[in-house]
Amino acid sequence: MSRESKRRHLFISHHHKDDEQVSNLTRLLSGRGYDVRNSSVRMKPENQKRMAENRVSDKVIERVLRMKISWAGTTVVLIGKDTHSRPWVNWEIDKAKEQGKRIVGVYLRGGTEADVPKSLEAYGDAIVNWNTDSIMDAIDGKNTFQAPDGSSRQPPNKGGSSNC
């Protein structure tokens, strides 16, 4: 399999406190030979300072996020203990749905089914545990729904996104 055929363009939606987990995910997949291109927004110290000082408007954030989601083939949502309470995560999932993107949730260590964001429950195409094969199968279109321990769970929705 060529390197090109193992390339995936992802937007990784996450709570900014889980920034390190974004790097862990890309390393996990790269370790299996996948070339992950990630367009998500990371909270570097200078970005965090600008946000804390309210120097970036919601309209600017929305425009940047829409472009980054549009570039990606799949939106991956990292599910940690605080992810469900983050308004921007739900907003990103809603925009991915509007753009017809595949939406995949991945449980972080310590994440539970109770921590799944409302929009992921509504629009998720797959929710899987932290396992390279499970994650790649979900990204590649095998509709898999798992509990945090990797056991089977019922799909949270009847719909899901579609690419017309």
Region at 150 (left for phi over 0; alpha for psi -120 to 50; beta for the rest) = left
In a domain, 160, yes or no: no
pLDDT for 163 equals 45
Domain that includes residue 71, residue range? 4-139
CATH number, domain containing residue 70: 3.40.50.450
For the chain, 164 residues long, the average pLDDT of each consecutive 10-residue run is: 72 88 92 85 64 75 90 94 90 96 93 90 93 93 84 69 43
Residue 144 falls inside a structural domain? no
| CA 50 – CA 58 distance, rounded (Å) | 12
Q: Per the domain annotation, does 86 fall within a domain? A: yes
- pLDDT score recorded for residue 159: 47
Inside any domain, residue 81: yes
**Distance separating alpha carbons of residues 158 and 11, to the nearest angstrom:** 24
pTM: 0.84
pLDDT at 107: 95
**Residues 34, 43, 7, CA angle at the centre, nearest 5°?**
15
Q: Which helix (H) or strand (E) holds 95?
A: helix 87-98
Contacts of 86 (CB under 8 A, 6+ apart): 15, 117
Q: Which two tokens stand for residue 56?
A: 């970036």
